[in-house]
Structure 1
Amino acid sequence: MIKLRVFLITFIVISILSSCNNKQIFDTYQTVDDIWDKDEKINFTLPILDSTQTYNLFINVRNNNAYKYSNIFLISEMRFPNGKVVTDTLEYVMATPEGEWLGSGFSDLKENKLWYKENVGFKEKGNYTISLQHAMRKNGKVNGVSSLEGITDIGFRIENAQILKKD
């Protein structure tokens, strides 16, 4: 009887959690080794998406206490099926002015869901790819940080822009 109750409670919790996130289309991560080299690109091949819909795009960053900075600079490249490339330099805040990490998580590992693009339509048929690399520099230095520590995972998420947020 107790096993049945545990099973039912687990099933209900999983059902509730999965139903709260029906706007998610794609969500994947790639692990970063101990360091993220400045020349290392992290690539995501996106699924074929409905060309009549629009989507919100996010970059997910997981960091731990070894990360030494309060922000992160990223260079993104979106490659279209026809070969066109759109490059953006992005900056995101990772910590408060008091030094507390932003994002979610219970231990020293924090996860940040960062806006990348809003209401994007994928009109061309074929595969789109996203490439991300860090562009961190120390204040007053010309050369970039060659080996970035403290980033554990980089993810990419696509959500349906038409579904209203419930939370």
Structure 2
Amino acid sequence: MRRASRWLAQSIVWLSVLCIIEGCTQLELYEKSVPLAAQRWENTYRPTFDFIIKDTTARYDVALVLRHRDRYHYNNIWLRISVTDPQGKNYSFETDLLLGTNEKGWLGAGMDDIYEHRISLQKELLTAGVSFRQAGTYRFSIEQVMREDPLEEVMNVGLRIEKKP
């Protein structure tokens, strides 16, 4: 009995040490999301996201983060994304992002009637010529260009940028 409790105590200590070490590992990440007033996205509202690139030798994953209600009327969203690099050069592209299908329903993670999508923008950024080869501040601006204005049932829009391992 004594051996079992000693083994349990040692296991808890080692598990705690591992959790502390893992928790102290810094993940190089930028993530910001902005709420949309009354869950309506006016086409004149263009959220902007500024982040700093320090390591120009690294590769980065860039993803759009979008939250909407189940009542959102479409299975896609058209966006115009503009990027300004540290030298002031502007890049802009439009993209049609799939949010759901008739067969599978919403493609994002859902809880109750809220769905969150994290959609990679890597292909679009490469096509537009955007790279993170210069250290400094990059600015992303995201505009919805759907025919419906305002776009109803969209709760948040954001950007996630993570350094690839």
Same-fold call, TM > 0.5? Answer: yes
- Number of residue pairs the alignment of both structures matches: 142
| 2:52–2:135 contact (8 Å) kept in structure 1 | no
% identical equivalent positions:
26
Which runs of at least 4 in structure 1 moved beyond 6 Å after TM superposition? none
Q: CA deviation at 1:48?
A: 3.1
Q: CA deviation at 1:126?
A: 2.2
Q: How high is the TM-score relative to the length of structure 1?
A: 0.75
More helix by share: 2
**Equivalent of 1:84 in 89, 111, 135:** 89
| 1:32–1:153 contact (8 Å) kept in structure 2 | yes
Q: How high is the TM-score relative to the length of structure 2?
A: 0.75
> Hey, what's the Cα distance between the residues in 2 that align with 1:114 and 1:127?
22
More strand by share: 2
Q: CA deviation at 1:22?
A: 6.7
Structure 2 unaligned runs (5+)?
Answer: 1-11
The Cα RMSD (Å) is: 2.6
What's 1:33 paired with?
Answer: 37
Structure 1 unaligned runs (5+)?
Answer: 1-7, 138-144
> Hey, what's the Cα distance between the residues in 1 that align with 2:159 and 2:118?
9
Equivalent residues in 2 for 1:1-167, closer than 5 Å: 15=19, 25-34=29-38, 35-98=40-103, 100-117=105-122, 121-137=131-147, 145-161=148-164, 163=165
> Hey, what's the Cα distance between the residues in 2 that align with 1:96 and 1:51?
38
| 1:27–1:156 contact (8 Å) kept in structure 2 | yes
Deviations 1:74-109 (A, max 9, x none): 100011111111101011111112472220022111
Tell me whether 46-55 or 107-116 shows the greater mean CA deviation.
46-55
Q: CA deviation at 1:63?
A: 0.6
- Alpha carbons of structure 1 residues 91 and 124: separation in structure 2 relative to 1, 3 Å: same
